[in-house]
Amino acid sequence: MEWLTYDVLRLLWWALLGLLLIGFAVLGGNDLGVGALLPFVARSDTERRVTINSIGPTWEGNQVWFILGGGASFAAFPALYAAAFSGFYFAMLLILVALILRPVGFEFRNKLLNPRWRALWDGALFIGGAAPALLFGVAFGNLFLGVPFHFDSDLRFHFDGGFLLLLRPFALLCGLVSLGMLTAHGAAFLNMKTEGIVQQRAALLLPWLALTTLLLFAVGGAWLATGIDGYHISSAHDATGPSDPLLKTVTRSTGGWLGNYAMFPGVMAIPIVAALALLSAAVWHRFAVPAFIATFIAVAAIVATAGFSLFPFLFTSSSQPSHSLTVWDATSSKLTLAIMFFAVLVFLPLILLYTAWVFRVLRGKVSAVYVEDNKHSLY
């Protein structure tokens, strides 16, 4: 295919990586949100079991999107994978530990009837939901701020900071946006998937979570426009050239992250859609399905806003801006990208069809009566 040139493949894989991240955010995100809301929507053991079993049948399948995103970055953007897992090593470790707490909590909670035992694993499920939701946002925030790293002449990666350096005010604000949007998504899911007091509490929390997220999102956008230096490739660059991040020069300027919106004004519709979707979720919180669709759209639009704002940058350096990784200089070879692209054309539709089928089969609400009648087969 003549049109499938190296620059097109690079752009397609940037879009596919974004799609996989959005897939994890909107599917695995409501699982994380439900876990983070567990202490707030469930008081008794039965209520906690209703909450947990609302995501029990699907949470493992939703992790596929996270695995696919990591695999795609490893194969399509190996330099990004190496730099991110080195620069964010401790943060990634914390996320993985938190994610490990989730399956352990699901499997061990119901082994004993002891209240202290179950409270222990309820706490694990809460941490396993809230910590990744927060830390994923912190990581995205640091991409806008830049991370202190550089490459030597042999393209060996050197990280010049530490974990505490990542906990800067703007990055923490992005973490709160992430936590807010996923808890709102989780509340909308519980509102749709449960009955009784759990559903009522989730419905009451949803407008507050959605409006808080909207406020934080607006503050983040204003801060990005007026107080954060954006990155811009200032040299001529070859979109079909070799994957060498040292062949370009990069400048920084306040408000620079808004450059893509000035160049492509239509892209401004994405953050507007995110804001309108959050507002709709708050207004429609008593209508379960419309509210869930609204938070679904809001989460996807917020992640897309971050991706379009950063483009073409993937991993930014604050100490050596010209060493930042971009879509044009951090990819695998053209042959690798082409083979993977055709594999995705086959397998991604299958995953989407299977996911849709699973949710259709497992549709319906989880009630206290159902949980009590199936004590030995449910979480």
Tell me the domain boundaries of the chain.
Answer: 6-373
Burial 297-325 (b: 16+ CB within 10 A, else e): bbbbbbbbbbbbbbbbbbbbbbebbbbbb
Cα end-to-end span (Å), the chain = 51
Average pLDDT over residues 182-205: 94
Asked whether the whole model's pTM tops 0.85, one would answer yes
| DSSP 8-class letter at 27 | I
Phi, psi of 132 (to 5 degrees): -60, -40
From the CB of residue 367, how many other CB atoms can be counted at a distance below 10 Å? 17
Mean pLDDT of the chain: 90
| pLDDT tens-digit map of 38-60 | 999 999 999 999 999 899 888 88
Summarised one tens digit per residue, pLDDT across range 237-252 is 777 788 888 888 999 9
Tally the C-alpha atoms within 13 A of residue 228's C-alpha that lie toward its C-beta.
Answer: 27
